[in-house]
Amino acid sequence: MADLILVRGARQLLTLQGAPGPRRGAACRDLGLIRDGALLIRDGIIHDVGPSRRVENLAAARYAVEIDADRRVVLPGFVDSHSHLALARPLLEDSPNLQGPDEPREPRTSSAGDEAHIRNVCGSRLQAAAKRFHRNLLRHGTTTLGIRAGGWSSDAVAVKALRVAAALHEHPLDLAATYLGGHGSAAASAVLLLRLRRLKLAQFAELDCEETGRDEARAREFLRTARDLGFPLRVHCDQRRHAGGARLAAEFQAITADHLDFTGRDELRLLAHSNTIAALTPGPALCSGSDHYPAARFLIDEGAAVCLASGFEARACPLYSMQTALALACLRMGMTAAEAITAATINGAHSLLMAHRVGSLEPGKRADLLIMNASDYRELPLNLGGNGVCLSMKRGAVLYRETECPEN
Ligand SMILES: [Zn+2]
């Protein structure tokens, strides 16, 4: 007997169904909304979606386990396409504002400390820590995650980190792994990329343009090598300062140009008219206090495909909630609620080349969905810093259900 689930009673069911390809322009504001909607799920895959009256009357629905959305908003699970692998310890020493002058301090550490931590701690402990973190993401609505690892002096550490990530795939989140590189010589990068390809440890290669920006020849060599090995490309650009990566991203037809906090208008316009998706992360600007948020409004008005991500990085950006990213996108980046939701779901899925499986609620896709404590989707960005998830479902399995506080 098939495993059947009927999710019914959604006041607003945001299907995000639409034309193939990343959404741009007016399509970013079309959420495929069904009022009083329902979904029928069979063996973890969406079987049917539509108005409750029709879906509830399907013959198969009679045998389904029912989940009542109780007049709430139902939407696809968030696709956070840009986070940095959470393997290092969060260290209070990097946040002196949190400590009083008399409190004991840990030894000062840095990204070199991250590298040492990954090298010295056994893989199973790193895996357990990352798994706990991923379960926390799921409680906050993220069901698919794009992680990146790299930027260290030792290639062995990068390989170890990506091995940990590979072991976590589908436990419980879908993961897409990216090697963040371009720091070493072209020859060393080529050897490592070849190894990662052979071991299937990275699905994307990403140029860390802030490190290589002043050496354009090296940056180009990295992108060429990665492309020739068959890696879809990403470019990590202009998070802390302008380094010029957006132009390279468009020229090399990268899948994404990520961050873009300090990118100039001419380069943004170039991106908007290219096939490259602008992967915007409001978290780093909030956490650094730079106030240089990515120019989402300009990009969307110019016709860019935009996705929204947390930009999580254990030290520099401890923001992992896509709900908070939605709020910042609307409050600080000029996006509408509908644009932000599109960017955080279907466009995020396109940016990870996973839109055939996740990012929208339509037949044949994985049943990754959220029931939110809201009666209108426009309320979602008003939940700054809170958790409005009532239920998270991944591949048809309920992996998080909110518990209520007793009334007395
Ligand atoms: Zn980043």
Q: How far does the centroid of ligand 1 lie from the alpha carbon of residue 316, in Å?
A: 10
Check whether 290 has a pLDDT greater than 90. Answer: no
Whether residues 32 and 114 fall in one domain: no
Check whether 105 has a pLDDT greater than 60. Answer: no
Q: How far does the centroid of ligand 1 lie from the alpha carbon of residue 234, in Å?
A: 11
Q: How far does the centroid of ligand 1 lie from the alpha carbon of residue 184, in Å?
A: 18
Question: For the segment 316-339, what is each residue's pLDDT rounded down to a tens digit?
Answer: 888 999 999 999 999 999 999 999
Q: How far does the centroid of ligand 1 lie from the alpha carbon of residue 236, in Å?
A: 6
Q: How far does the centroid of ligand 1 lie from the alpha carbon of residue 401, in Å?
A: 30
Say how far apart CA 308 and CA 311 lie, in whole Å: 9
Whether residues 379 and 322 fall in one domain: no
Q: Is residue 406 part of a domain?
A: no
Q: How far does the centroid of ligand 1 lie from the alpha carbon of residue 156, in Å?
A: 21
Whether residues 240 and 379 fall in one domain: no
Q: How far does the centroid of ligand 1 lie from the alpha carbon of residue 373, in Å?
A: 30
Whether residues 237 and 346 fall in one domain: yes
Q: Is residue 88 part of a domain?
A: yes
Whether residues 301 and 261 fall in one domain: yes
Q: Is residue 220 part of a domain?
A: yes
Whether residues 82 and 167 fall in one domain: yes
Percent of the chain with pLDDT over 70: 92
Whether residues 90 and 18 fall in one domain: no
CATH of the domain at 208: 3.20.20.140
Q: How far does the centroid of ligand 1 lie from the alpha carbon of residue 71, in Å?
A: 37
Question: What is the pTM for the complete model shown?
Answer: 0.94
Q: How far does the centroid of ligand 1 lie from the alpha carbon of residue 325, in Å?
A: 14
Whether residues 172 and 259 fall in one domain: yes
Q: How far does the centroid of ligand 1 lie from the alpha carbon of residue 122, in Å?
A: 25
Check whether 47 has a pLDDT greater than 60. Answer: yes
Whether residues 136 and 205 fall in one domain: yes
Q: Is residue 287 part of a domain?
A: yes
Q: How far does the centroid of ligand 1 lie from the alpha carbon of residue 27, in Å?
A: 27
Q: How far does the centroid of ligand 1 lie from the alpha carbon of residue 84, in Å?
A: 6
Q: Is residue 306 part of a domain?
A: yes
Whether residues 318 and 395 fall in one domain: no
The total number of structural domains that make up the chain: 2
Question: For the segment 339-366, what is each residue's pLDDT rounded down to a tens digit?
Answer: 999 999 999 999 999 999 999 999 999 9
Q: How far does the centroid of ligand 1 lie from the alpha carbon of residue 45, in Å?
A: 32
Q: Is residue 201 part of a domain?
A: yes
CATH of the domain at 32: 2.30.40.10
Question: For the segment 159-209, what is each residue's pLDDT rounded down to a tens digit?
Answer: 999 999 999 888 889 999 999 998 888 889 999 999 999 999 999 999 998
Residues 30-44, mean pLDDT to the nearest whole number: 98
Q: Is residue 28 part of a domain?
A: yes
Whether residues 393 and 377 fall in one domain: yes
Whether residues 245 and 378 fall in one domain: no
Q: How far does the centroid of ligand 1 lie from the alpha carbon of residue 259, in Å?
A: 7
Structural domain of residue 187, as residue ranges?
Answer: 78-351
pLDDT, residue 343, reads 98
Q: How far does the centroid of ligand 1 lie from the alpha carbon of residue 29, in Å?
A: 26
Q: Is residue 408 part of a domain?
A: no
Q: How far does the centroid of ligand 1 lie from the alpha carbon of residue 82, in Å?
A: 6
Q: How far does the centroid of ligand 1 lie from the alpha carbon of residue 292, in Å?
A: 15
